[in-house]
Structure 1
């Protein structure tokens, strides 16, 4: 059970509102709502119910409230004892690489926490594909990175994030597939596809077609960031093979995401170079992921 989630839980219980609690915690309301749902799923019980536009504790929530207050009191006391021994102010710079994925919000959430706790810290976020990000990481231009599997991490320390990324295709609403809610790998073999240029991704997808008489996917073009491919999808040049998290928050009025069935899911990983000399700022950021996952 994460200390961070216990703080979130008690703040919601006090404020009786997700929006008010989010302001107190200095995070966004969607982030707080999502984390709370995940917390309830982990515990296997509902902690809140809504009545008259306010959030109230369920019986399970009331039990957790008492325990959470005791745990946080002890935690805060312990942390303060160590802080008293270390009076220096954490400052510095952190450079983060990130793929386009649903897990990007986790990366941002912990960065929000770090900045809220240490306003002197500055950051830079570099968005690209896993291959380009790893190249920057190897050159020492990035401190940590969020990558999408499949990817080789033998040269890195890593933390696997639990929320998986779902694969599918992005199509035009005018496509003949627009009336479908999902698509199979067999159906994909006859469709012009736009795909990541990463060898690992193409190999993973091609390997899933072997049961269909060795048919191969018809990849007519490649792309690195999904932003540049929307107009090609809308104009039916091809369907884009991508993860749902890369397009979920985009303006997709002219496009539809179809998940592949049976489901294809991969994880995101936070990585940093093995044996690297990390600054206190980078260590503090990584520690948030270690405590959470």
Structure 2
């Protein structure tokens, strides 16, 4: 069995359609069909059931897929390790991060990283679906809220912080030293939309506190939310250290009693080769927060 045949097989597993798989592979459909038959003949079992135009994996196909994915990943790891050894500072690093309130923290980190590895290309990809980007090998490492332990991943916790209420300094509550959860129910809020990590964390905390908050406007940008607060459109609930990094005069950050807490972590596939660039980035990340 050849690596090329395994790649053909995996593409068909993904597409479950001979024509589409062949097209993505840049080969003809008869060629793909013939190569799949060669693998099936070698193994002595069918890998796919063909029911009319529908293609489904057999139990043997499911089993081979799991092993083939490991084989291809290990081959990629070997190539990457050799390239890392040969090229040293060159390479390509892809990092998925939380959108909005994390991106502003990364600029100084990226500057320092570039000084260490000036020939490494870095892609920082904002995403609310970091986990699947890591699992699908679309990125090398993910940086986001702590997730449930997953045997496919390595997790590295690196930062914990509380949340505060960000409010216009002319607001009636602006001089308070601390805000109670009950106070939040009376304040019109501008927040991230539901589905954003930061918003989901707040909503889960509200359920535990048995309170309901009310939003009057939702955007996906921390900067736009703080601009709305500055213009007294509403208040917002954001990580407590956000105000230290963004210059927004006219806004106060008031601690919240029994505040929501977010834990940030780095995670990456445990079957993936971790390049020197990835290790350097992760080390920089751990000391930058």
Match of 2:236 in 1: 240
Gapped regions of structure 1 (runs ≥ 5):
1-85
Match of 2:205 in 1: 205
Gapped regions of structure 2 (runs ≥ 5):
1-84
In structure 2, the residue corresponding to 1:183 is in which secondary structure? coil
User: In structure 2, do the counterparts of structure 1 residues 124 and 165 end up closer, same or farther at CA, with 3 Å as the change threshold?
Assistant: same
Q: How does 1:1-293 map to 2 (within 5 A)?
A: 89-99=88-98, 105=105, 114-128=113-127, 131-149=128-146, 151-152=147-148, 154=150, 156-161=153-158, 163-196=159-192, 197=194, 198=196, 200-210=200-210, 215-286=211-282
**Cα RMSD for the two superposed structures:** 3.4
Which string of whole-angstrom CA distances, capped at 9 and with x for unpartnered residues, describes residues 174-233 of structure 1? 2111112321112112112233323641442212422xxxx4222334333211212322
* Paired residues of 2:97 and 2:103 also in contact (CA < 8 A): no
User: In structure 2, do the counterparts of structure 1 residues 108 and 143 end up closer, same or farther at CA, with 3 Å as the change threshold?
Assistant: farther
State the 1:88 CA deviation. 5.3
TM-score by length of 2: 0.56
Match of 1:70 in 2: none
TM-score by length of 1: 0.56
User: In structure 2, do the counterparts of structure 1 residues 225 and 143 end up closer, same or farther at CA, with 3 Å as the change threshold?
Assistant: farther
Larger Rg: 2
The 2-side partners of 1:247 and 1:253 are apart by: 9
- Aligned residue-pair number: 199
* Paired residues of 1:159 and 1:290 also in contact (CA < 8 A): no
The 2-side partners of 1:226 and 1:291 are apart by: 23
